[in-house]
Structures are given as structure tokens and as C-alpha cells.
Structure 1
Amino acid sequence: MTKKSPENYRARVTAALAGGYVADVASLGLHWLYDSHRIRDVGGDSPEFLPPRADYFKDVFGFFAHDGKNIGDMSHYGTATRVLTDSLLAGRGELDIRDYQRRFVNCFGPGGRWQGFIDNPTRGTLNNLVAAEQKAIDIAYSSIETELTEKQKRVLVQKVMPYARRLSGDELATPVREAINLTYQDPRIQDAGVVLAETIDRHLTLASGADDMQLPAVSKLPPLVACYAGQNNLLEQVEAAVRVTNHNDEAVAWGRCAARLLESLFLGASLSEAMNTAIQEAPDQKILATAIADNPLDAIKAGDTFGRTCYLQEAMPVIFHIISRAQSYTEAIRANIQCGGDSCGRAWLIGPAMAAIHGVGHPLGMPLSWLARVTDAAGIFADVEVLVAYHGRD
């Protein structure tokens, strides 16, 4: 594989990450509608950027999940990808799992900015993080030798947890001590609070995900691959990120497959080379080989053959079929929507892959007008540009 110039890399990957958001937004209106005939009736040849409406789903199989969303809004997949992007931006292109977990909770948990559907992996991850936090607190209490009243224990937890959720190691002691000093000037209580914080820090889990094999395992990966493409530790970082939301070995394997596909395309490999490299990481190589066999693009048939749901063993062959057979970004996005089912989840590999291959603004690439359909496009794409610029920096 030939790694091309940084300028070519940045242009290609900037287009790819933007292509993920555009594909997600374009698919939202008919997301989780499983009836291909209804999709054709509603969307015709151009089913993209439709407003989410419950009446599309009337009397056919599907799940209307996006009440209150508008044209241009992203799904929970796009929002989760933006959470990981924000964390990578904070780390200047480096993955910090604890920071990612904190941002995930702050977005999808109680009081978070996300308003909308919560899928099973997200719900399970939030529950696991709460349980792991309480377990760490219980372990920490057992390690404190200082006698504390029940009130003091409650106050120390309240003082400590905001720092334990965002700091680690040597960063903890000083701010924790300062926070406790506002209420308790007794050095023994302050020492107990520091022990509490440091013990909690050591026992918080990095593998917080649900035991789940659905698309959230891979849909968030494009920005991570953008930061680590071509580096020896890419797959290590991919596994760590996948296990935040999907603590499942098969989900990790599909994550490695998706990452190798994106990495190859981001670095300028041919589509066939990228496909072959990715398939080597797949837990089911045969099903992907079948999906990319020499036949015309037929996303509806692919859905009939492999499945349309959120599970990776169904979604990945449909994704590979569309990427391998579509001749343009627009054709791929429309085919994905027309297939039905979890189109938004699949969009996060199809969109970046097709935009990496075909770019932006010419007949085979992502239409410029589609970029403008994304809500908060200026902010999202500015963050994409900054993130991609971190790649390859010392």
C-alpha cells in the first residue's frame, strides 16, 4: 500500500468524514423502515433528506424512532461519532478512553445534550458505567483507614467524583484536596478523600460496553481511523474504542475489519486492495466474499439475502456489497436507503468509504449541495478539518 502525501491524505479523509455525516443525515427520514416497497413509494429515485414522519411507517414493518427530528439532523449514530470526535480533538488526535467515556455519559446520560432514541448498546453502556463507578466507590471505601461519619463519606464522594470522572493518576490529588478543603480543613479527611479518588481511579473499567454485536461498534470508527491510519497501534486503539460501547469479541473483530477497510481507503489504496485487506480481519470472511461477488448493485436483494437489521453479521455484507458495486457516492447512499432497515448505521461506513474514493463536488463524488443540508454543518466540518490535521504530527 502506498501512503500518499499529507495533503492528499487530508483532502481524502476530510471528504470521508464529512461523507459520513451527510450519509447519516440523508438516511434519517426513512431509517428503520424495512419495507422496500414503501420506501420506493415515499422516496422514489431520490429517497434522501426526507423529513422523519410516522405516517411512512403506517401498516408496514418498521420502527419510527426519530419523532421530533428535522431534515438535516443526525441520528444517534452520528451523535455518538461526534462524541468520539470531540474526545479526539481534546486529545489532539490521541484516544483517551476515560475522556471518551465521560463525554459519552455527558451526551447520552441524564441531562445530556442528546434528545432522541437510545439504542440497546448505549443503554447498556450507561448502565455499566454507573455500576462500575459504584463498585469502585465501594472498593475505595474499604481501603480508607480514617474513621468517617456517614455524612462525611457522602460529602467526600460528592467532592471526589467530578474529578475522578475526568482526571486520572497524578492529576487527581491536588484538585481533590482543594475541593475538600472548602468544607473540611482536617488533613486526615483530605487524605482520605485523595485515597478515595485514587482508588476509584484504579478500579474504573475501560471496557464499559454492553455484550452486543450491533452497528454502534463500528459506526463511530471513522474519526478514530483518521487519527491512527498507518500507525502500528491502530487495531489496539480500535479494540479499546469498540469495547467502550460493545464489549464483545465478535464486535471487536468486525471493528478491526471496518477499520482496515477505512484505513486502506484513507491511505489511497484501491477499492479491491482495501476490500481484501479488510476481509482478512472479518470473523466471517465467506459472507463478505459472497457480498462482493461479481454481480450488479442490488441493495434490496442484498438486504433480502443478508438481513437489514443492526446486527453486524447482517449489516457488514450489505455495506461491502454497496461499496463494491456503487459507481458514485450518490448511488451508494440512495441504494443504502432503498435497502431499508438500519440505513443510518450502515451509512457510517458507506458514506466515508465512497467519499474517500470519489471525493466531493464532481459527478461521482459527494454533491456540494448535500453538505449544506447538515444541521450545524459549519461547526461539524470545521471540527473535521482540525481533527484530520492532527494525523501524522509528532
Structure 2
Amino acid sequence: MHQNRSPEDKARLINALAGGWVADAASLGLHWLYNSPRILEVGGQSPEFLPPKADYFKGGLGYFAHEGKKIGDVSHYGAATGVITDSLLANEGKLDVRDYQRRFRNFFGPGGGWCGYLDNPTRVTLNNLNVIEQNAIDEALKTTTAHLTDQQKRVLVQKVLPYTRRLSGDQLAAPVRTAIDLTYHETDVQEAGVHITETIDQHLRPESGADDMQLPAVSKLPPLVACYCGSDRLMEVTEAAVRVTNHNDDAVAWAKCAARLLDHLFRGDSMQAALAAAEAEAPDQASLSRAQSGASLDAVKAGDTFGRTCYLHEAMPVIFHILTHASSYTEAVRANIQCGGDSCGRAWIIGPAMAAMHGVGSEHGIPLSWLVRVSESPAILSDIEALVQYPQGL
């Protein structure tokens, strides 16, 4: 059973998803600068949408990763969010792990569309996908009973791989036979090709991710949660999506915490209720409770206390602190940048959460002037609008 969304729900989801893109782009200029005094010196009280420059990192601890990027561009986190968005759009709002893996590999791998920094989970995932596929090929060739020459084996593998990378199950046999028939008319060779295809298909694994518990595990969640918010399957699909890039139990646990947070906010619950529900999913509830204490927003102190790096056990308390105490989207994004470190990674939870609460264009929402500064914003917003038209993935 599928449930159509109300106009109010669609509007909230559009605002929330836009909030992630804006917060990432706003943070890029000072991303991975860890020295908060240097951030204040460079960006002052309005550190958003600065052009990425290596000079900012002189005299401060950090890593300049975004050479060649310009104002309004998003980080590799945004690029990965775009990949899962494309996959969800292609599958009517449903998670198809095989399709997601293929698009991830095509976009970030050799000859793909991404030009920029590759984080550890992405690099390891690309390698794992190659290894998984090669192991499947080896198993297929090992179990083939037809008498094939080495050349025939190579040619058959070359012919079937384009199909195993985009089709599965009963979809494979007919087009593979047609492709093989262009070169080999013999029935036994064609059947051997079908066997190779089906064996490869059966041995491709959905858990292709790195053993890594950093922010890429959660940064791509907003479009997935938007498709499955309110669904009993949300935790299931969250784990499946996370293990594509981060095959790590702690990463999955923190991702479920983040997904629960967004799920409640995307359905219109209060920030307090959403944080409480998410905290119950967290592998370290005590740190989240401490992060929410205090009477005022102090993201720099939160970074000093919990850490500023990409690891989820550092990032999630900082996220919870900012969401607890920030009163507007602008205040939250600026606080996140001023905290320093992996601001772009944290932006993909902070931005959607605050935009779900406060919308676009209001005193507390996403400033319209920020929205239009995001590179390729018309295409991004068009995809967001298309994604929320699908019924919830129940």
C-alpha cells in the first residue's frame, strides 16, 4: 500500500532537501579548516559562500581539498547525494541497491562525472565493487561446463558485463543471448554466456562499502528519508543504503539515529520530539544528551568538547548541539561553519533539519539569496520537486 503526500508534506520535504544543498555549498569555502580563530579571521560573522582558497588555510590547521571549485559548488558529499537522488528518481522513489551501486561506480569511477576530492569510503567502495565483480566473474568461469577457449571466455565476459551492471534476474538471459549471437552463433557458447551472466548476477553483493564510520554514511540520507518517511521500512532501507558505502556497524547505528531525526522532522514533528526519538537510536546516547545541555549555542565549544573531524561519534553530538540551540537556518549554518572541521558533512543533517522546521524565505528559513547561489540550482530543485511526487515507500 502506498500513501500519497499532502501538499503541506510535499512543501516541507522540498524545503528540507533544498536545505541540504544550500548548507553544503555555503560551507565549502572553509571546509576542513579546523582552526576556529582562523575561520573567524577569514569569514567573520558571515562565513558562508566564500570561494575555496588555499590561502585561508595558511596559519591554521586544516586540509584544502577543493581546488578548482567555485562559489556555489557542493562538496563530494553533495555529489554523492546527487547519485542516490538519481537512483531514487529512476526507481520511482524506491531504493534499488544494484542500481545505486552502478550509478555510484559510474559517477565517481574512471570516466565518470565527478571531478574533485574522493574520500576514503568512496575510494574503498569503488575498489570493493571491482573486487566483488571480479570474484563473481572468477566463480562464473570456474563453474562453466562448456569447453571454451581462453579467447571465448574473455569475449563472453566483455559481452555480459554491460548487462550484469544494469540488469538482474530474469531480465538478463534474452539480451545476453542476442549480444553473444553477434559474435558466436553456437548454442553451447550462448548458453555458457548465459550461465556466466547469471552466476555473476548471483554473486554480486549489496554490502560494498568500506569499513568506515565517517560522515559519508549519513550525508546521503535526506533524499532516502524523504522517500520513506513514516514507513516501517525506513530503518531497513537506511541500513541497506549505508552499507553500499560504509559497511560498518557503528556507521549503520549512527545513520539510523540520523534517519530517525530527519524522519520526524520531515513529518512535521517538533525539533525536541525529533531529537528525543533520534537519541533513542544512537549508539552513544550520553554524548548526545550532553551536547543538548546548556542554555545557549556555542558550536566552537561543542567542537572543542566532542571533536570536529569526519567521524560520526564526533559529528553527531555537534549536530545535536546546533539543532538544539540554533533559532534559524542561517544561525545554524553559520555556527556549523564557525565550529570548523567537517562542516560540509555535518551540513547534510543540519541543513535539512533546520529547513524542515523553518522553510524557505521566512525570517528563520533558508534565505532566498542563499538558495539561488547554489550551482545548478534549477536542475537540483527540479529533481527535488520530482522526487517528492512519489508516494511514500511503504
TM-score, with structure 2 as normaliser: 0.98
Q: Distance in 2 between matches of 1:4 and 1:135?
A: 42
Report 1:1-394 matches (<5 A).
Answer: 6-392=6-392
Unaligned runs of 5+ in 2: none
8 Å Cα contact 2:4/2:391 also seen in 1: no
Unaligned runs of 5+ in 1: none
Q: Distance in 1 between matches of 2:299 and 2:34?
A: 13
Q: Distance in 2 between matches of 1:102 and 1:369?
A: 36
Listed one character per residue, the Cα deviations across residues 356-382 of structure 1 (whole Å, up to 9, x for unaligned) are 000000110000111100111000000
Q: CA deviation at 1:188?
A: 0.9
Q: Secondary structure at the match of 1:253?
A: helix
Q: Secondary structure at the match of 2:388?
A: helix
Letter in structure 2 aligned against 1:380: I
Letter in structure 2 aligned against 1:250: D
8 Å Cα contact 2:31/2:341 also seen in 1: yes
Q: Distance in 2 between matches of 1:93 and 1:392?
A: 8
Q: CA deviation at 1:295?
A: 2.3
Q: CA deviation at 1:294?
A: 3.3
Letter in structure 2 aligned against 1:248: N
Letter in structure 2 aligned against 1:263: D
Cα distance, 1:86–1:63 mapped onto 2, change above 3 Å: same
8 Å Cα contact 1:297/1:322 also seen in 2: yes
TM-score, with structure 1 as normaliser: 0.98
Q: CA deviation at 1:293?
A: 1.2
Listed one character per residue, the Cα deviations across residues 218-238 of structure 1 (whole Å, up to 9, x for unaligned) are 000000000001111110000
Letter in structure 1 aligned against 2:258: A
Q: Distance in 2 between matches of 1:109 and 1:125?
A: 10
8 Å Cα contact 2:25/2:72 also seen in 1: yes
Q: Distance in 1 between matches of 2:342 and 2:201?
A: 37
Listed one character per residue, the Cα deviations across residues 320-366 of structure 1 (whole Å, up to 9, x for unaligned) are 10011100000000000000000000000000000000000011000
Letter in structure 1 aligned against 2:120: N
Which deviates further from its counterpart, 5-14 or 57-66?
5-14
Q: CA deviation at 1:393?
A: 7.5
8 Å Cα contact 1:4/1:267 also seen in 2: no
Total equivalences in the alignment: 392
Q: Distance in 2 between matches of 1:147 and 1:280?
A: 58
8 Å Cα contact 1:4/1:268 also seen in 2: no
Q: Distance in 2 between matches of 1:128 and 1:157?
A: 19
RMSD between aligned residues: 1.2
Q: CA deviation at 1:155?
A: 0.5
Q: CA deviation at 1:389?
A: 1.1
Q: Distance in 2 between matches of 1:123 and 1:173?
A: 32
Q: CA deviation at 1:6?
A: 1.4
Cα distance, 1:4–1:298 mapped onto 2, change above 3 Å: farther
Q: Secondary structure at the match of 2:208?
A: coil
Listed one character per residue, the Cα deviations across residues 169-226 of structure 1 (whole Å, up to 9, x for unaligned) are 0000011111111111111111111110100000001000000000000000000000
Q: CA deviation at 1:5?
A: 6.4
Letter in structure 1 aligned against 2:38: R
8 Å Cα contact 2:5/2:391 also seen in 1: no
Q: Distance in 1 between matches of 2:353 and 2:272?
A: 12
Q: Distance in 1 between matches of 2:4 and 2:96?
A: 28
Q: Secondary structure at the match of 1:32?
A: coil
